[in-house]
Structure 1
Amino acid sequence: MAINRKLPLVALRAFESAARCGRHGDAAEELSVTSGAISKHIAQLETFLGIRLFEGNRNRPRLTAEGQAFATSLSDAFEQIDAAVAAISRRDTGVLDVACIGTLAMRWLIPRLSNFSQLYPNYDVCLSTDGQRINRSVDVEILILPPDEAMGSECLPLFNELVGLVFASNLQERNISNEQKALSLPRLGTQTRPHAWTEWGRLTGRDLGPTRTTSRMFDHYHLTIEACLNGLGSMIAPLHLIGEEVRSGKLIAPWGFVESGYSYAVRSERPNHRKNSAFIQWLQDETANMRTPIQENFAALQN
């Protein structure tokens, strides 16, 4: 689309302000000019467009139908321009907008953010979780890619997800193995991964058989994990969300962990900007040990 470089931008701003404020004097105060200047700009704009934008007497002008429609469109356009200016001006400022799902933010990212803050004290990380970022752009986004989704060229890989069957250690019994105990407990599930148990059985080659105990479903992983930690049952959990609990002995993983097929990646529309680049590099450093072989990863947790 060709751009009309002869648009009277100052007159457009004067008219939009006058239409929104309702009085030329108020528009003049808003734009730090005189009322006469506002009237002159509007007259020039009417000549340029070939239509009347205001009618009535000079002291109390009223918008014409065309003026009302034009004013609405102009207000929307100026709001978009203001938003674009705000977005471009904050790219290299201290605010760093990061988007990821809520459970990852709560159980993995937030506990590590103090490390990033120590390295980059001038950057203030602002987290957006789940649907909060629908109407605005972010600097960096952490993605979860399902097994059937290829990683785009704009993404950088972080780690492959490992999952395992776990239960609270305070449910252990002397006369029953951890494997038997884990399978005898109520099966806890998550709405976002409704087939986790079936998938784990397929990945490990184990026949889980019919469920003889009540299954309990929760909306999010962090709720399911809390239920598991409090002894409500066993669950299939991603290792990166429960690593500390496995390491401390709060959770038992009788069969260890296997790759689920899900992978995590990071994406940024402006990866070369200093703050974005710094955060991406920090993420890759933080997840470096999560890219080691499964046996080494699980053994490290148990030591």
Structure 2
Amino acid sequence: MLGQGGFGAVYKGKLAGGELIAVKRLSTDSGQGDLEFKNEVLLVAKLQHRNLVRLQDFCLERNERLLIYEFVPNASLDQFLFDPVKRAYLGWEKRYKIIGGIARGLLYLHEDSRLRIIHRDLKASNILLDAEMNPKIADFGMARLCAVDQTHGATSKIVGTYRYMAPEYAMHGQFSVKSDVFSLGVLVLEILSGQKNSSFHKGDNVDDLLSYAWRNWKDGTTNELVDSTLKDSSTTEVMRCLQIGLPCVQENVAERPNMATVALMLTSYSVTLPLPSQPAFFMHSNTQSEVEMLWSEDLNSGATK
């Protein structure tokens, strides 16, 4: 067994020819099991990109629902990033490559594939790392398929992980390609700092990561934000990523860049980066309790659009 989630368990397996695979087995008592299973099969089977985990096959027989994926040997990003020992292995070169790969994968989902996919649950535990530490976006059980000319939607069922949620989605169920961009911004700041947004702390001060990153940018003390294991890294690239991450977490959807712009800012030094402004400050509001209430209501009613 490689891991366990609300959907069921993931196992490491081997085919007759010796190829390693990861098998996701949906639990029979998972309330969203059938829906998530159909979602992943229909969506992921049609997606082909080096920064997306590859679905190789599936099984739907009696009560068994199995998804067979390529085996990704280095597990997920969170197991390195938030481990006090393992995160030292993630030097700046690896972290920069991971940020760039996630951005390319999202760009493909939003603009370059035959389908337009909004992931809705982009987070460190859903970024898998292959043998060369290349990132692969995984877990499309919460993803939504949109028409090619559609960029947003709404739902009465809010799903995902709170600390990565855009405020308009957490509060009103409004999701878009820009809500994925918000999640990416949180992820970039976590990669820079080596800490979780929900439990960020520096010394005796407990804060949310977005607020802390903004204050350090504004005060010119960004070295206080950066993971201590990265002190000898490229200051220019670190600052560049910070200046890209902060615009992604703006409260106003229109002020966030799209993924084409993000990918260009990461690869082209001729692009003028936007000056960051104050990000969304919703971590200390009543949002969390309200979101939990919505989740509770949805679990009881099964309402969805």
The structure with the largest helix share of the pair is: 1
TM-score using structure 1 length:
0.23
Larger relative contact order, structure 1 or 2 (CA cutoff 8 Å, min sep 6): 1
TM-score, normalization by structure 2: 0.23
